[in-house]
């Protein structure tokens, strides 16, 4: 058997004895209003339609900045401003790959972010197919001299997205292949889909570097099937350029706290996206969920005690916005009472993890009651992770909370051309807004310290 955590038992008591009142009534009203509120969908439709794909260094990235400032301003946020920082921007060029022999076929391919370009006349070489990343790591020095290495390791579909962590290591494998003499590095797209559409992402090995790209899932299998018959030669073209000092940004807007405006809860999503889709689930959804939740709280007759700050992070996919944010806000770290990012699409939230200082606080024992109608459970432990854009804040001691979403479908689309508005579940999107708005209201209206309390 397993034990019910204290919070659940307290909540069960509340259900039996209390009527909704005070904070809980406001939070429940926010929750119910959010379920049919059009704001999040409208934000997401606006972003994907008027901006579309917006990778750093692209013209659309500049339009995304303008869009973000205009949107937060139009929604009534205060103190809307842009914080800039510089970082290298990798830009995709023309890309192609094909089997030359023995069975000429075109291959669906997409270069990995930070990949080196191929020489102008392309790379032509035999491909070596490995069935797992572990096989690459186990291979001896010079094992792949003059070859192109393909790691064809499938990703496992899981509700919590943990299949991604296991599979994505292979995306950082170019240096391991290079060390073993490979001319170029290919991997099966880190994806749970059977679509031919390839999935990109960064390739961040420590060096040395070689050209690196992801194949469509069926294309990786195709090469494995061909290689089972004998040597397979392929031709690879990957053009790209890098701007060593591109201007990046984080955009910020606030719902000012009514009593403790200097105590800040930082939430948000990232506004940059990969280039093949329109960045709807990664991470237009997170932008829409957190912006709409804060907007609904801002529209209340009285703001909660603390300030809610929505940050539209500007360089998650290529990294940098978390460090830039920490650098720019070192002076107010003690006043950032809590942080969280929404960056796992628009499918339903399943579980809330509260910050350590709130896990056992009687004040938050009402949360299971509040979230039960949304089919969200409240965990008995604090989160280990709450979004990559706030990792630096978290590392600097800022407490975090996290809504775990159903990630079953997320990696069918993530980082691919299929990340568009078409695959967004509007009901799931609003369920997330309802969860964020109601919970965030209670957290912002609280006076307790979310930092871990000494054991009593």
Q: Catalytic residue numbers? A: 316
φ, ψ dihedrals at 195, nearest 5°: -65, 155
Q: How many CB atoms lie within 10 A of CB 163?
A: 19
Closest residue by Cα to residue 84 from 97, 70, 69: 69
Residue closer to its own copies (CB basis): 23 or 50: 50
Structure tokens at 120: 């102008």
Does residue 267 sit in helix, strand or coil? strand
Closest residue by Cα to residue 46 from 267, 271, 255: 271
DSSP tag of 136: H
Residue closer to its own copies (CB basis): 222 or 370: 222
* DSSP code string of 233-261: EEEEEEEEEEEEEEEEEEEEEEE--SSEE
Residue closer to its own copies (CB basis): 38 or 165: 38
Residue closer to its own copies (CB basis): 310 or 346: 346
Residue closer to its own copies (CB basis): 25 or 225: 225
Burial class (CB in 10 A: 0-12, 13-18, 19+), 90: buried
CB of 278 to its own copies, least distance (A): 7
Residue closer to its own copies (CB basis): 200 or 446: 200
CB of 165 to its own copies, least distance (A): 23
Residue closer to its own copies (CB basis): 45 or 135: 45
Residues lying near its own copies in the complex (CB under 8 A) are found at 45, 48-53, 59-60, 103-106, 108, 194-197, 216-218, 221-222, 225-226, 229, 277-278, 417-418, 420-423
CB of 225 to its own copies, least distance (A): 4
Q: Is the dihedral of CA 326, 332, 337, 342 positive or negative?
A: negative
Q: What letters, b where the CB count within 10 A reaches 16 and e where it falls short, cover 431-442? A: bbbbbbbbbbbb
Q: Is the dihedral of CA 324, 78, 66, 272 positive or negative?
A: positive
CB of 455 to its own copies, least distance (A): 50
Q: Which residues, 6 or more positions from 83, have their beta carbon under 8 angstroms from its beta carbon?
A: 249, 250, 251, 252, 324, 325, 328
CA end-to-end span of the chain: 28
CB 203 within 8 A of CB 274: no
CB 122 within 8 A of CB 99: no
CB of 18 to its own copies, least distance (A): 43
* DSSP code string of 268-303: EEE----SSS--IIIIIHHHHHHHHHHHHHHTSSS-
Q: Which helix (H) or strand (E) holds 80?
A: strand 78-101
């Amino acid at each position: 058997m397993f034990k019910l955590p204290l919070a659940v038992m307290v909540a069960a008591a509340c259900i039996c004895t209390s009527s909704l009142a005070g904070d809980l009534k406001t939070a429940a009203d926010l929750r119910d209003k959010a379920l049919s509120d059009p704001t999040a969908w409208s934000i997401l439709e606006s972003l994907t339609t008027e901006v579309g794909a917006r990778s750093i260094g692209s013209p659309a990235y500049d339009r995304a900045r303008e869009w973000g400032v205009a949107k937060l301003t139009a929604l009534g946020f205060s103190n809307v401003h842009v914080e800039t920082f510089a970082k290298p921007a990798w830009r995709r060029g023309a890309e192609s790959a094909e089997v030359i022999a023995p069975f000429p076929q075109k291959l669906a391919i997409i270069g990995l972010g930070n990949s080196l370009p191929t020489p102008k006349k392309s790379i032509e070489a035999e491909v070596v197919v490995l069935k797992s990343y572990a096989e690459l790591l186990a291979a001896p020095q010079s094992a792949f001299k003059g070859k192109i290495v393909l790691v064809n390791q499938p990703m496992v579909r899981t509700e919590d997205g943990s299949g991604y962590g296991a599979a994505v290591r292979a995306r950082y494998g170019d240096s391991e292949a290079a060390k073993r003499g490979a001319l170029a590095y290919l991997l099966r797209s880190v994806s749970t889909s059977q679509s031919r559409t390839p999935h990109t992402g960064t390739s961040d090995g420590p060096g040395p570097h070689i050209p690196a790209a992801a194949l469509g899932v069926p294309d990786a299998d195709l090469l494995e099937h061909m290689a089972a018959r004998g040597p397979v030669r392929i031709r690879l073209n990957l053009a790209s350029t890098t701007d060593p000092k591109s201007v990046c940004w984080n955009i910020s807007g606030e719902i000012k706290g009514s009593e403790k405006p200097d105590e800040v809860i930082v939430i948000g999503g990232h506004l940059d996206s990969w280039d093949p889709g329109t960045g709807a689930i990664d991470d237009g959804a997170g932008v829409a969920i957190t912006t709409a939740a804060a907007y609904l709280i801002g529209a209340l007759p009285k703001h909660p005690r603390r300030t809610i700050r929505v940050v539209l992070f500007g360089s998650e996919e290529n990294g940098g916005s978390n460090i830039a944010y920490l650098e720019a806000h070192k002076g107010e770290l003690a006043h950032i009472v809590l942080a969280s990012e929404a960056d796992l699409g628009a499918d339903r939230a399943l579980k809330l993890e509260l910050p350590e200082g709130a896990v056992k606080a009687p004040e938050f024992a009402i949360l299971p009651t509040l979230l039960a109608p949304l089919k969200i459970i409240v965990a008995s432990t604090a989160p280990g992770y709450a979004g990559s854009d706030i990792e630096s804040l978290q590392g600097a001691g800022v407490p975090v909370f996290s809504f775990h979403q159903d990630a079953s479908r997320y990696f069918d689309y993530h980082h691919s051309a299929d990340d568009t508005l078409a695959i967004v579940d509007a009901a799931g999107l609003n369920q997330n807004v309802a969860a964020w708005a109601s919970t965030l209201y209670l957290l912002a209206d609280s006076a307790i310290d979310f930092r871990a309390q000494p054991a009593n």
